[in-house]
């Protein structure tokens, strides 16, 4: 399976899960801001990817949740702390380093959703499938 | 109005599939207004019957310990109207049954006619949060649903085909 195969399957999955048109989904689309995903959609997407790719995605592996749990050492004043950023990088080794650096420059919790892009899912699956 | 949109289960296989039927009576309130002179069952209520069938299927899998709530209908298609006098058959099959949530695929038929198809995603209310808000009472599976649930459980035990 090539990267493009993965991308096409991810795209089809998101078209189904989020009821979007084919041309609305691009590699850089952000799931929340661009494609309108809500919290339950993330679970739906994970379930669909598991079925589509025949894999198991442990809870929080693709979309880490711990950072959202209001731990004051990870999030303070609406921003992710240095410790939180370290944890995020640790939990999301598959994230695009450039995207992560961009987020780290202004780590507002509100912006965290911008990390969750179509490309992120493709990168995650690449690492998961060993492509 | 009594919020129960299935009449009884005709088949129940735990963690796999459930089938329920619903006979449509012209006396039901919704037919009066939807629409005057042209009574057809509102599609949302057809979906509710399918969700109750699937919700009990999902709830039974954890012995009704979880508060199962409809979280999302990723897609639903309606092929024709359902009218008074018809009997709808709701069939739901488990696609995913997980601690985080469950998915069922359902179809609604009347005789040989396909009326609707839908996928339904159920989530579970967080136990501690739900206890704060509602106490220990399981408000999802109570009253009329509980009665049906008894029928479903009997069906699950294999003696409930005509329960």
* Nearest CB neighbour to A40, from listed B71, B75, B95: B71
Collapsing DSSP to helix, strand or coil, B152 comes out as helix
Q: Is residue B161 part of a domain?
A: no
* Per-residue model confidence (pLDDT) at position B115: 98
Q: What is the ipTM of this complex?
A: 0.82
pLDDT tens sequence across B99-116: 889 999 999 999 999 999
Q: What is the mean pLDDT of residues A85-91?
A: 92
What's B102's domain CATH number?
Answer: 3.10.129.10
**Cβ–Cβ of A19/B71 closer than 8 Å?**
no
B71 Cα to chain A: minimum distance (Å):
7
What percent of chain B is modeled with pLDDT above 90? Answer: 68
Q: What is the mean pLDDT of residues B115-124?
A: 96
Collapsing DSSP to helix, strand or coil, B18 comes out as strand
Residues spanned by the domain of B136: 8-156
Of A69 and B72, which is predicted with more confidence?
B72
Distance CA B58, CA B67 (A): 10
* Per-residue model confidence (pLDDT) at position A69: 73
Domain residue spans in chain A? 1-63+116-131, 71-115
* Per-residue model confidence (pLDDT) at position A35: 97
Closest chain A residue to B71 measured between Cα atoms?
A40
**Cβ–Cβ of A44/B100 closer than 8 Å?**
no
**Cβ–Cβ of B123/A40 closer than 8 Å?**
yes
| Averaged pLDDT of chain B | 88
Q: What is the mean pLDDT of residues A81-107?
A: 93
* Per-residue model confidence (pLDDT) at position B3: 84
* Per-residue model confidence (pLDDT) at position B49: 97
Q: Is residue B163 part of a domain?
A: no
Q: Which H, E and C letters describe chain A, residue by residue?
A: CCHHHHHHHHHHHHHHHHCCCHHHCCCCCECCCCCCCCHHHHHHHHHHHHHHHCCCCCCCCCCCCHHHHCCCCCEECCEECHHHHHHHHHHCCCCCHHHHHHHHHCCEHHHHHHHCEHHHHHHHHHHHHCC
Cβ neighbours of A16 in B, within 8 Å: 74-75
Q: What is the mean pLDDT of residues B31-51?
A: 96
**Cβ–Cβ of B100/A16 closer than 8 Å?**
no
pLDDT band at residue B163 using 50, 70 and 90 as cut-offs: very low
Closest chain A residue to B76 measured between Cα atoms?
A19
pLDDT tens sequence across A31-61: 999 999 998 999 999 999 999 999 999 988 9
Asked whether the predicted pLDDT for residue B146 surpasses 90, the reply is no
A17 Cα to chain B: minimum distance (Å):
6
Chain B contact present for A16, CB below 8 A: yes
Instruction: Identify the CATH homologous superfamily for domain A1-63+116-131.
Output: ACP-like (1.10.1200.10)
What percent of chain A is modeled with pLDDT above 70? Answer: 98
Catalytic residues of B: 34
Asked whether the predicted pLDDT for residue B83 surpasses 70, the reply is yes
- The contacts of residue A8 (CB under 8 Å, 6+ apart) are none
Total number of domains constituting chain B: 1
Closest chain B residue to A16 measured between Cα atoms?
B74
């Amino acid at each position: 399976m090539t990267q493009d195969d993965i991308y096409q399957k991810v795209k089809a999955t998101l078209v189904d899960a989020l009821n979007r048109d084919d041309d609305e989904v691009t590699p850089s689309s952000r799931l929340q801001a661009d494609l309108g995903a809500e919290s339950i959609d993330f679970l739906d997407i994970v379930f669909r990817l598991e079925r589509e790719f025949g894999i198991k995605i442990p809870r929080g592996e693709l979309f880490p949740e711990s950072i959202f749990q209001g731990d004051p050492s990870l999030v303070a004043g609406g921003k992710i702390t240095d410790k939180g950023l370290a944890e995020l990088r640790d939990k999301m080794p598959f994230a695009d380093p450039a995207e992560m650096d961009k987020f780290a420059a202004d780590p507002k919790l509100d912006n965290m959703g911008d990390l969750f892009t179509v490309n992120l899912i493709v990168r995650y699956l690449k690492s998961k499938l060993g492509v | 109005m009594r919020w129960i949109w299935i009449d009884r289960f005709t088949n129940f296989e735990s963690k796999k599939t459930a089938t329920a039927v619903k006979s449509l009576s012209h006396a039901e309130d919704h037919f009066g207004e939807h629409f005057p002179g042209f009574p057809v069952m509102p599609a949302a209520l057809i979906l509710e019957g399918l969700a109750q069938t699937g919700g009990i299927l999902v709830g039974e899998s954890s012995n009704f310990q979880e508060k199962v709530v409809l979280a999302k209908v990723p897609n639903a298609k309606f092929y024709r109207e359902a009218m008074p006098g018809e009997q709808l058959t709701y069939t739901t099959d488990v696609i995913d049954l997980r601690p985080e949530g469950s998915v069922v695929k359902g179809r609604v038929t009347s005789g040989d006619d396909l009326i609707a198809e839908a996928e339904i995603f159920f989530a579970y209310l967080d136990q501690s949060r739900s206890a704060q808000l509602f106490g220990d009472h399981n408000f999802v599976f109570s009253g009329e649903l509980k009665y049906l649930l008894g029928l479903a459980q009997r069906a699950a035990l294999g003696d409930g085909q005509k329960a």
